[in-house]
Each structure stands twice: as structure tokens, then as C-alpha cells.
Amino acid sequence: MTNRSIEEILAGLLDSEVPHVRVEVLATEILALAPDEAARQVFMVLKDRPNEAVLRAVLPLIAELARREDRWDRLVERSLRGQGRCPRAIREDLRAALRSVAGQDLPPTRPIPLEDEDIIGNRPGRPGPARSVRDRRGELRIPVTTEMTNLRYLSRLFDALGQAGSKVARAKSVVMDLNGVDHLFIGGLVVLATWCDRHRIQPRIENAPSSTAAYLDRMGLGRWVEGAAQIGPYSDPSGWGVAVTSLGTDASESLAGRLTDLCVKHAWVGARDRTALVILFAELIENVRRHAGGQTIARVGAQYYPRKHRLNLAIADTGIGVRASFENGRNDVARARMRGGESPLRLAIAPRVTSKPVTTPDEPGHAGYGLYIASELAVRNGGTFRITSGASTLMRFRGWNPARQTPYRGTEEESHAPWQGTVVTMVLDLEQLLPISDVYATLPPPRGYADDDFFS
């Protein structure tokens, strides 16, 4: 048994001109210390060093490992799927090398989640009207469609839940009708679960195709489905998602860690991007915990789409909402701006604007960084950021610069039934950078302080 770590072994490999025999020795060394974690660790080292020379040097070692040890099939499988930011030429070499080792008998693969383009296409405009909520003999029946759960069309889900909200108190039972719905998206699931928590109801799922019922079960909502296995609230066993989880069950650190692990496990996320992700998730979760008000019901969930390296994330709460937070808060300037006609959602994502500033050293308060950093990071990543509160939704995406104060061009709309609370959804492209340092550079500089003032 060797005493060297996998990182040291790989560093040795990278420092030398490697004859084939050396690769075999190293493979023996790694397999000697390899429990199931070994394949993952080697892959992580590779992900942290995404340059061509490193990948080319390590390629023979990976191939050798895959040839000699069955469990490296998992590495083969993951490498073929999640190469992320690996340069295209290397990606193809890696694929060819691994295929030559594994032959045609690659291990059976888990089903890859379909993306919105696969399901609902890129339709211009908004889809037609939804079937309306029915209330018959005490049974409240809410028809749910695939489109309603998609991040782009969540306004339709808000409309349906708005209709249902006025009737739910009288209903003896609530049914989510999934007739013909063979796909659901994470954004809608998070909103639906939060709405049910708020009204303290457990709906019954009807007419769901078996694949949809299985997905609900995997995403922690198996209790809605008769006969489902109910696998627990945390992990989607398919490995591509983080189940819809209540923010009341775990610490922010733990939830942020689980969301980050999902990205690191599947995408080509280096150490810096890992840092950016954990900061982003922690700030979003803390923002809900701190701003939504006491006894808040909130849920978070995420789904990774490996073919496009995209992460969809949703976090919903049933708190007091952004407008009321500013109205009831201690920030007189922000309240005056809002009363003067400024959008509360624009204020919420502006840097250093908070409803609860610190006014005395002992008083709990905030600084107004969280939502700004999340939205700016999404924009710079080429992703999207949406925030809904009340009847308004504001969306930020690449190309929209709030500093220019240009008109919104359709990025803010008031067109759906009010959501009591706040919903934030994000799409991130994990093949692109998450430049957190650039985001910090856009924070307004304090007057009278140089850039490195506090480190001198």
C-alpha cells in the first residue's frame, strides 16, 4: 500500500516524461489505495487542471485504470457525459481512448433528464390558456401541465394557484391532475410544494404517467403519489438533481453544500467556480431565511441537465414578499424610492440596498449583497435570474445592464396572479465561468478607500 495521495501521484506523473511502463506502475499505485472514491478523486484533480498538457499527460493513465479495474467503468461513464469545460479536442481524445478500453459494452446509463427545448420547444410568445381549476363536491382539482412547471411559464402556475388559493380552505381534498403530463420541471415542483406547505395540504396526484410519478418520488414528493417508494427528502437517486427540500430541515451550509456537490459531481467545475457556487447558493438561502419573516415556509430544489451542462435552481418562500419587506423595514431611502414609483424588485437586486440595514452595532441587520451577487453572477455566466414577488416578475439575463438605466424591454412584467412570498429561479451554464471576482469588482467602491486598503 502506498502512502502517496492521488494528487501526489498525478503530480509526479505530470512532472515527468511518462513511458508506458510508468503509467502501469502508477495505475497499480492508485488501485492499491483506491476504495470507490479513487475514480472520483482522479476525475476531480483533472477538473481542477483543465489545460491541454495535463489532460494529454493523464489520458494514458485513465485508459489504463479503466482497462484494469471494473469500477473505473463509472469514470468512463462520467467522463463521456460530463466533460464540461474540457477543450473539445481533448474531449474527443478522451472519449476515443475510453471507448477503446471499454469497447462497445459501456455500463447501462441512467436516464438523462430532458430539457425544456426537448419538451416544449422554443415557442414564440406564451402558450394558450390553461385548463381552469375545478371545485366539485369538495374536491379541488388543479390541472398541472408540463409548461406550467417550466421556468419560462411559471406565471401560468401562479395563475392556477391564485385561482385555487381562494377555494382551498373549503376543499375536503386537493387533486393535482397530471393527465398526459409526461414531464415536470424543477421550478414548478418547488413552487407547488411550497404552496401546499403554506396551505398545509397534501395533494393527491391523479392520472400521472408512471415516469412522472417516479420523478415526483425521486424529487422528494413521493408522499403525493399513491404507492410511491418515498425515498426521502434529500437526494434524487438518479444523481442529476437535488430533491425539493424544506429550508426548515437543514442548516444553510448543508443545503448550499449539497447543491454545490451536485454541480461538482457532474460538471467540469474547477476550484474557483466551486467557491462561486457555494457562495451563490448560501447567499440565496440565507436571503430567504433572513428576509422572508418569521415562521417562513420555504423550499429549494435543483436539476442538472448534462447535455447542455445547465443547472436549473428554484427557491420559493411564503414570506411577506419584497414590497412589504421594504415597507416594514428600516431603510427610509429605499422606502421613499419605492413610494416614488421605483420597482421593489429592482431595488431588491441593486447592490447594497437592503430593507434591514445595520443602524447600531448591536442590532441585527444586513448589507444588501446577496440578491445582487446572485443576479450579477447569473448574467455574467450567460445564465438567467428571475425573481417573482406579488404579481411582478423581473428577469435578468446577459446583455441587460442595470447600471445603464435603460428601459426593461420586457424583462419586468406584472401579468400573473400574486404569489404570496418570493420565488427566485436561476439557470446557470456550468460549462461557462462563474466570475465571482468580476462581480465583486462591480460592487460600488467605498469613497476614500483604496482597493487594497485593509490588507496593508
Partner 1 sequence: MTSFDLTRFGKDLLTRDQGTHARVALREAVRKLAPGERIVVDLDRGGAVTPSFVDECLGRLVLEIGESRFRRSIQLRATEESTRRLVNRVLGHRASEARTKRTAG
Binding-site ranges for partner 1 (CB under 8 A): 251-253, 256-257, 272, 274-275, 278-279, 282-283, 286, 290, 352, 358, 361, 366-367, 369-370, 373, 436-437, 440-441, 443-449, 451-455
Q: How far is the CB of 15 from partner 1 (least distance, A)?
A: 23
Q: How far is the CB of 172 from partner 1 (least distance, A)?
A: 42
Q: How far is the CB of 288 from partner 1 (least distance, A)?
A: 12
Which candidate, 78, 89, 50, 38, places its Cα nearest to that of 273? 50
Which is nearer to partner 1, 275 or 343 (by Cβ)? 275
375: helix, coil or strand? helix
| Residue 72 grid cell | 473505473
Q: How far is the CB of 254 from partner 1 (least distance, A)?
A: 10
Which is nearer to partner 1, 13 or 267 (by Cβ)? 267
Which is nearer to partner 1, 404 or 449 (by Cβ)? 449
Which is nearer to partner 1, 84 or 351 (by Cβ)? 351
Which candidate, 146, 320, 313, places its Cα nearest to that of 245? 313
Q: How far is the CB of 227 from partner 1 (least distance, A)?
A: 39
Which is nearer to partner 1, 304 or 369 (by Cβ)? 369
Q: Return d(Cα 243, Cα 252) in angstroms, integer.
A: 15
Q: Return d(Cα 109, Cα 379) in angstroms, integer.
A: 33
Q: Return d(Cα 344, Cα 330) in angstroms, integer.
A: 15
Which is nearer to partner 1, 123 or 352 (by Cβ)? 352
Which is nearer to partner 1, 224 or 385 (by Cβ)? 385
Using alpha carbons, list the distances in angstroms from residue 148 to 66, 158, 234: 43, 9, 24
Residue 101: which residues within 8 A CB-CB, separation 6 or more? 63, 66, 67, 76
Q: How far is the CB of 253 from partner 1 (least distance, A)?
A: 5
Q: How far is the CB of 287 from partner 1 (least distance, A)?
A: 9
Which is nearer to partner 1, 129 or 444 (by Cβ)? 444
Strands 173-177, 139-143: parallel, antiparallel or unpaired by DSSP? Answer: parallel
Which is nearer to partner 1, 406 or 449 (by Cβ)? 449
What element of type H or E holds 134? strand 134-136
Q: How far is the CB of 284 from partner 1 (least distance, A)?
A: 11
156: helix, coil or strand? helix
Q: Return d(Cα 437, Cα 263) in angstroms, integer.
A: 19
Packed helices 88-102 and 73-81: angle between N→C axes, nearest 10 degrees: 150
Using alpha carbons, list the distances in angstroms from residue 412 to 386, 396, 437: 9, 9, 27
Question: Count of alpha carbons within 13 Å of 339, Cβ hemisphere only?
Answer: 9
Alpha helix locations (H) across 129-238?
154-165, 186-198, 210-216
Q: How far is the CB of 291 from partner 1 (least distance, A)?
A: 12
